[in-house]
Amino acid sequence: MVALFACMVLLLIGFYAVVTKRNIIRIIIGFSLVEYAVNLFFALVGFKRNGIPPIITELGQSRSNFVDPVPQALVLTAIVIGLATTALMLVLAMRIYEKYRTFDITEIRRLKG
């Protein structure tokens, strides 16, 4: 239970970073925090008290105590998606730096209205 709340706190911290920071890199880091928080939350969904990892080590083993493996698989997918996203964001940030010579978002503001 505490872990779930902690996830939400992490999410809010990340969101705060995205919304308030001026440096593009800090915004990207904030977004990564949001990403981690959601993935963590998702993985925790499968948690079971006194559960064991969902790996079959011998035939005929009792499986009732396995932690739910589906969220783990889904989180894996989500992490990969997050990777692609972060990579693209960083590339865009790099290109922006080449053009604008700054990472400060208050100066990268040619599109208005």
Partner 1 sequence: MASAFLIPLLAKLWQRSADLIANAAGAILLGISTYGAVYLFTVSPALTYRMGGWASTLGITLVYDHLTALVALAVNTIGLAALLFSVRYLDRYTGRWKFFSLFMLVLAGLNGVTITGDIFNMFVFIEISAISSYALVAFGTDFDELEAGFKYMVIGEIGGTAILLAIAMLYAKASTLNMAVVSQVMAGFGRTPLFWFIVATFLVGFAVKMAMVPFHAWLPDAHPSAPAPVSALLSGVFIKVLGVYAMSRVMFNVFGLSRANAAGFFNLLLAFGVISIIAGGLLAYAQKDYKRLLAYSSISQVGYILIGLGIGNYWSIVGALFHILAHALGKGLLFLASGSVEYATGTRDMDKLSGLEKNMPVTAWSHLLGSLSLAGVPPFAGFFSKLFIIVGAVAARMYWLAVLAALFSTVTLAYLVNVVNRVFFNRKEREATSAREVPASMSLAVLALVVLTIALGIGFKPVLDRLVGPAANVLLQGLGYAQGVLGR
Cα separation, 42 vs 78, in Å, equals 10
The 34-63 site mask, x for binding partner 1 (CB under 8 A), equals xx--x--xx--x------------------
Residue closer to partner 1 (CB basis): 13 or 92: 92
Angle at 31 between CA 28 and CA 36, to 5 degrees: 125
Which spans in 1-113 are helix H?
Answer: 2-20, 24-44, 69-100
- Residues touching partner 1, count (CB under 8 A): 34
Judge whether 42 and 74 are in contact, CB under 8 Å.
Answer: yes
Q: Which residues bind partner 1 (CB under 8 A)?
A: 11, 15, 18, 24, 27, 31, 34-35, 38, 41-42, 45, 68, 70-71, 74, 77-78, 81, 84-85, 88-89, 92-93, 95-96, 99-100, 108-111, 113
